[in-house]
Amino acid sequence: MIYEAQEARQIDEWAKTSGLPLEVLMERAGSEIAKRVMNNHDRKERIVILCGTGNNGGDGYVIGRELIRDGYDVTIHAPFGAAKTPIALLHQRYAEKFGLATEAVCGQYDVMVDALFGTGFDQSRLTKPLTDLFDWVREQQQRAILYAVDIPSGIPTDHSTGFSGQGIKADVTFSLHAFKRSAFLLKTAPFFGRLEKIDLGLPAFGGWQLFSESIAPLLTRDAYGHKGTYGTALLIGGSEHMPGSIQLAARAALRTGVGKLQVATVPTAQVGLIVNAPEAMVLDQTTEAIQEMITEVDVAGIGPGLASDSVSDWLDLLFDQDIPVVLDAGALIRDRYPERKAAIVVTPHIGEFARMTNQSVQTVQDDLFEQASDYAMLHQVTVVLKAHVILIAKPDGGGYVVAGASSGLAKGGSGDTLFGLITSLLGQRKHYKQIPLERLIAMGVSWYAQASKHVEQRIHPSSITATDVIEQLGQVENDDRIN
């Protein structure tokens, strides 16, 4: 799961009222983090744990107690004084029974644990004494590895609006029970380092989750199926100046398994499709041709490379049909959408989404989760927001985050490829009928991300093209095969 600060507090309150005291949760968190630190470091290394006055500091005292109990050289440094919350104070006093007293820092450390603030940090606390402490931490990090408890100190939890860039930069962040939103935002993600989740034995509440499911269900085929089993998709896109976009989308759709593919495009792109995607059937990019074909398809996708005065009319045609419609690029022109049973999926990148919502790119980047979720709920559409991570926002709130794609995707054609893949999967809904729509999209996005990482094993990210990723979609790794 991915929580905002309020959700984290709610799950703590739920645990308390359900009979699981917070001091037990603190014990679980600190003990598990201590085990992981011990797995990576020996007793010869000097360890300093920075403890704040709140519950994050309480986690630090548990970590310190477990480490010193196992013979590690541990210093506890409490720059703001003793613990102030009852639970943290309880664990501080218990740690002191093991000889773990707070003291001033001295010399160079090998390991640092940041247990200062957690999700409770307020930017108003960013005074000179604290920035001086952050500077000292950065100096230590020239030789020391730094672990953060739940969230690096100084980093906001929910969004990065107004974030000054002042904070502790962790090598590893131990996320308690759930990841925090700022771990996936452009400004703040670099401060988290590698993310490791600490399971506290609590149920999963909240609407957003990091997608980590297997893509195996997408790789199944019916031994007795035929092309009709896997649906018919219609793609509309391309222009004389941008004929390549629709070709990439078409090739991705074919690689993703759709049974039949119809492509309405301009003559220049038609020639390219005949050569590069002969499996696709081409038709003229006219209202008459689209109107004739629309009743025969299971999904329609429109937008890549599109530049036509008829786009609005074509959207009306598509919305009148009881089929999913995927909108990208040149088709992202509506400020409202009709009520309909079948899904509408919009796939903007950050710049397009900023234009759609009349905001700056920075405003969108600073609050990706809220932005995507608000738009999805307001318009009752599914939003696939393409940033350094990809968010799939549901019309009823919440959604999925797919992370870990290759940096090589940061170039033209990547969005066209993803658009074609998503449209293809939605055309196969009869085959994937047991998978909810947004989850199916998340699985497709994950497939796309995994393919890009596999390409990265043989091609440097600077040289990766959308075509490389399309070809990789067919190169299923042995671990993912379905026998």
Mean pLDDT for the chain overall: 93
The CA distances from residue 441 to 57, 93, 394, 401, 418, in Å, are 40, 50, 11, 11, 10
Rounded to the nearest angstrom, the gap between the alpha carbon of residue 477 and the centroid of all alpha carbons in its chain is 23
> Rounded CA gap, 441 and 82, in Å?
49
Are 76 and 141 in contact by the 8 Å Cβ rule? The answer is no
What percentage of the chain reaches a pLDDT higher than 90?
84
153 is in an annotated binding site: yes
Q: Tokens representing 153? A: 């100190």
59 is in an annotated binding site: yes
Span of 12-26, 101-115, 119-133, 163-177 with lowest mean pLDDT: 119-133
Closest among 185, 216, 180 to 197, alpha carbons compared: 180
Q: Tokens representing 294? A: 């629309």
416 is in an annotated binding site: yes
H or E segment and range at residue 265: strand 260-265
Q: Tokens representing 329? A: 């690029």
**117 pLDDT exceeds 80?**
yes
pLDDT band, residue 152 (cuts 50/70/90):
very high
> Rounded CA gap, 330 and 265, in Å?
13
159 is in an annotated binding site: no
What percentage of the chain reaches a pLDDT higher than 70?
98
> Is 238 strand, coil or helix?
coil
393 forms beta bridges with 383, 399
Closest among 395, 390, 358 to 375, alpha carbons compared: 395
Residue 480 pLDDT: 45
Residue 476 pLDDT: 56
56 is in an annotated binding site: yes
> Rounded CA gap, 92 and 57, in Å?
9
Are 432 and 217 in contact by the 8 Å Cβ rule? The answer is yes
- Mean pLDDT on 52-63: 96
Structural domains present in the chain: 2-206 (3.40.50.10260), 216-475 (3.40.1190.20)
pLDDT, tens digit, for every residue of 284-343? 999 999 999 999 999 999 999 999 999 999 999 999 999 999 999 999 999 999 999 999
Residue with the bigger pLDDT between 127 and 228: it is 228
Residues 6+ apart with CB under 8 A from 247: 238, 269, 272, 273, 276, 277
Helices (H) and strands (E) in the chain, counts: 15, 18
> Rounded CA gap, 206 and 148, in Å?
23
Specify the DSSP class assigned to residue 349: B
Residue 62 pLDDT: 97
Are 384 and 420 in contact by the 8 Å Cβ rule? The answer is no
- Mean pLDDT on 128-135: 90
- Number of Cβ atoms within 10 Å of the Cβ of 103: 11
57 is in an annotated binding site: yes
What spatial distance separates the first Cα and last Cα of the chain, rounded to whole Å? 31
Q: Residue 475 half-sphere exposure, CB side, CA atoms within 13 Å?
A: 13
pLDDT, tens digit, for every residue of 422-448? 999 999 999 999 999 999 999 999 999
Residue 477 pLDDT: 56
Q: List the 399-402 sheet strands across, edge first.
A: 179-180, 2-3, 208-210, 399-402, 390-393, 382-386, 344-346, 325-327, 299-302, 232-236, 260-265, 281-284
Q: Residue 36 half-sphere exposure, CB side, CA atoms within 13 Å?
A: 20
Span of 187-191, 215-219, 402-406, 413-417 with lowest mean pLDDT: 215-219
> Rounded CA gap, 249 and 255, in Å?
10
Q: Which long-range contacts (CB under 8 A, 24 or more apart) does 353-356 make?
A: 353/383, 353/385, 356/332
- Mean pLDDT on 158-177: 93
Residue 11 pLDDT: 87
